[in-house]
Amino acid sequence: MTQLLIVESPAKAKTIQKYLGGDFTVLASYGHVRDLLPKEGAVDTEHDFAMRYAEIARNGKHVDAIASALRKADGLWLATDPDREGEAISWHLVELLQQKKLLEGKSVQRVVFHEITPRAVQDAVAHPRQIAMDLVNAQQARRALDYLVGFNLSPLLWRKVRPGLSAGRVQSAALRMICEREAEIRAFVAQEYWTLSAQLEQEEKRFPARLSQWQQKKLEQFDIPNAAAAEAIRAEILADLERHPLQVSKVERKQRQRQPAAPFTTSTLQQEASRKLGFNASRTMRVAQQLYEGISVGNETVGLITYMRTDAVNLSEEAIAALRDFVQQHFGAEYLPPAARRFKTKAKNAQEAHEAIRPTDIRRHPDQLQGRLDKDQWRLYDLIWKRAVACQMAAAQLDLVAVDFAAESHWLLRANGSTVTFPGFLVVYQEGKDEQEEEDEQRLLPALQVGERPLFHSLDAEQHFTEPPPRYSDASLVKTLEAHGIGRPSTYASIIQTLQNREYVAVEQRRFHPTDLGEVVNQFLVQHFDQYVDYGFTAELEDQLDAISRGEKQWQPVLKEFWQPFHQRLEEKANVSRSEATSEAIDENCPDCGKPLRLKLGRYGRFISCSGYPECNYARPIDGPREAPEPVGRDCPDCGKALVYRQGRYGRFISCSGYPSCKYLESLTTAKSTGVTCPECGSGELVEKRSRYGKIFYSCNTYPKCKYAVWGEPVARDCPRCAWPVLYRKSTKRRGEELICPQGDCAFHFPEQAEAAEITELLQDYQAPEPKDADEKAAGTGKPSARRSKSATPAKKPAKKTASARATRKKPSPAKV
């Protein structure tokens, strides 16, 4: 009998095929095979939220391959990922195959494994089950909710703020979180305070001791408010020390244990990879996917880690036994706790049936994989391996020491420090922190006894200012989202990536800053849809989805409870003016005409403008008064008025002083070179530019003579299919770094690191998309098509582009700079 087993990715298919032998044919679905129709009415709110699905065009050929193989097979085995999304993919595939009448007389079985190893895969095949419809319904409800929010709220943003924006159910709550932190930082008023610290020495070792008590009272943070108070205290202490020697008055020693952290969940892996490796959430999940699906190690291909989308911290008994055995053999009995450690998750509604993220074989030491994994893969595996080993090791033992020093007066100096007496799990791994710990916890003090007199060197007063809360990093944002119950383990990376792709946030020094656009969108949503970006409301919806997955609730009533008030709010806010949505009043009047000034959103960000525009055209940047533009010293070639220097979002440029009547512009910046020759004209070079909305693209530097342009970073490499001399680089969520042909009638794509044999295999069954209209055919040449006229604005309800349309979308028109 021949059996057909379906997984999601081709990498996983290759690995599992080796485990199951000739009785099984293993094919990949390449992710989802169906999705909601990309038009209004895909979720029918009038008929019990019936959902209308359509086959995803880009995966049609893979479904055809599965259908062809199924005709020759006796049974279908569904081995998609062990989570709600994987369960839904299996269900959608069965629904498609039933429509094609290919399942008559054939068995359909669902198998689940959490690691890709021969034992785990064969054991799963030996214990199949049916598709879990509760999980499928929870995923359908999530997809419907996201559709109802995005398909109804996004067009409102298009009309009220700017075309092309989006508002998601979860991303909007995350954006609010980032914007509120920014508001806290702006509103923060620094407060001055002072500390006094002495430099002491004992046994030729210097250490600091801070003033901790003054006039028999413990000092609080703001008790020394300024330099005068600090200097007065300093002078009195120095006078006391001239009369009496400083000596140890008290020594306190406490023993403390530090316990190891639990093994990784999706959230904690993303946080720790951000802190220790500098990975963002998307990069972490991409590399973890590669480690899970299978890596060639020696003579075998094997998954190196267990499933990486999980919120559980428990380990199987088999894994615990293997970890404890490894610790005893390699570190000794003193590093092994008497009983195995079992962790319990703090996350709400965690799926305890899953395991935490761990190596599939703890004996596969990271050192053995040096040179067999790429740099990112090795670093992430090393992190996961160490965390898993450490979680079953003995606690670290520390001695905490606090020493008080006095000079027969009303004040005390205190020195704090610690000593590690037994390292325990710290010999393998120490968890990172979002913020630096106090140095006192890391300091080692010399041995001190009551009555001893350390050598006094100096007493210094130091000025400090309180600091605002830090902006969110990848790690702290994921941690906060999880703490609020917003999103699920598999969604954190996509939430953050969407905020960046929509240019709602920017990353500076690995911290998230809301953009002007992001703040305006957040202001609109908070002002008019406050309930739907509320943290508690978003978390409550997650709880209800979890209840559906457990069979405790039906999904249609949950959608009905959400939709009715949401739809009513949409109708109420349909008449909000664009001015109200994109501007806000400030407490200041126009210096030219006396009318109120407003904070507005323009093409290059937020600015202050007169509410009397266009009768009064007063405007200035947010951070200062408008300055008279500096003259260039020549006239505009279009209208003859003087040219002036101006400051825009991307730096200085030259503009006509007659703006907005005359829109002549000149760039003062040199386009960033790529070193790639333009494939269209053969003489120009592709350079980095920005579109009118700030998005980076690459075009020929001979523009407007040559108008060739591509969105992605160009690479001077021939397309293996059509031989076009330039490809462009793109990072995808599931497949990592890819090279793509910009020719719309080709659009061939393959992994950047793919070898020749793999590329040849991909070419064999590749089907190029066919342009549907003249615009798309123009896009296929790499040339930008004409700008859409105002009459061609989108309909009220946006239609998502199909995969083939995305593959052949228009190239960007070179921006005026």
Q: Which residues are catalytic?
A: 307
Residue 298: exposure state from Cβ atoms within 10 A (0-12, 13-18, ≥19): exposed
- HSE on the CB side for 137, CA within 13 Å? 20
For tokens 């899953």, the residue is 354
Pairing mode, if any, of strands 300-302 and 605-610?
unpaired
Q: 3-class DSSP state for residue 234?
A: helix
Contact 19, 122 (CB under 8 A): yes
For tokens 């325990």, the residue is 424
Q: Which backbone phi and psi does 465 adopt, to 5 degrees?
A: -135, 140
Contact 201, 458 (CB under 8 A): no
Q: What is the H or E stretch that residue 303 is in?
A: none
Q: What is the dihedral of CA 128, 129, 131, 133, to 10 degrees?
A: -160
**Distance in angstroms (rounded) separating the CA atoms of residues 91 and 558:** 21
Contact 226, 192 (CB under 8 A): yes
| Neighbour count for residue 770 (Cβ, 10 Å) | 12
Strand partners, 206: 201
Q: What is the H or E stretch that residue 422 is in?
A: strand 412-422
The beta strands (E) that lie in 574-725 are given as 583-589, 596-602, 605-610, 619-620, 630-635, 642-648, 651-656, 665-667, 672-677, 685-690, 696-700, 709-710, 713-715
Continuous H helices in 301-448? 317-331, 375-390
Cβ neighbours for 536, distance < 8 A, ≥ 6 positions apart: none
Continuous H helices in 428-554? 474-484, 492-501, 516-528, 535-549
How far are the Cα atoms of 57, 486, 501, 695, 699 from residue 507, in angstroms, in the given order?
34, 21, 11, 15, 25
Counting every residue written for the chain, the total comes to 817
Contact 598, 608 (CB under 8 A): yes
Q: What is the H or E stretch that residue 372 is in?
A: none
- HSE on the CB side for 565, CA within 13 Å? 8
**CA 655 from centre of chain:** 38
Residue 365: exposure state from Cβ atoms within 10 A (0-12, 13-18, ≥19): middle
Q: Which two tokens mark 40?
A: 């209004």
Strand partners, 462: 195
Q: 3-class DSSP state for residue 321?
A: helix
Smallest CA-to-CA distance from 481 within 176, 805, 105, 97 is with 176
Helices (H) and strands (E) in the chain — how many of each?
A: 20, 35
Pairing mode, if any, of strands 651-656 and 665-667?
antiparallel
Smallest CA-to-CA distance from 649 within 599, 690, 597 is with 690
| Neighbour count for residue 288 (Cβ, 10 Å) | 26
Smallest CA-to-CA distance from 203 within 447, 489, 546 is with 447
Contact 597, 588 (CB under 8 A): yes
Q: CA-based angle 431:433:438, to the nearest 5? A: 115
Q: 3-class DSSP state for residue 500?
A: helix
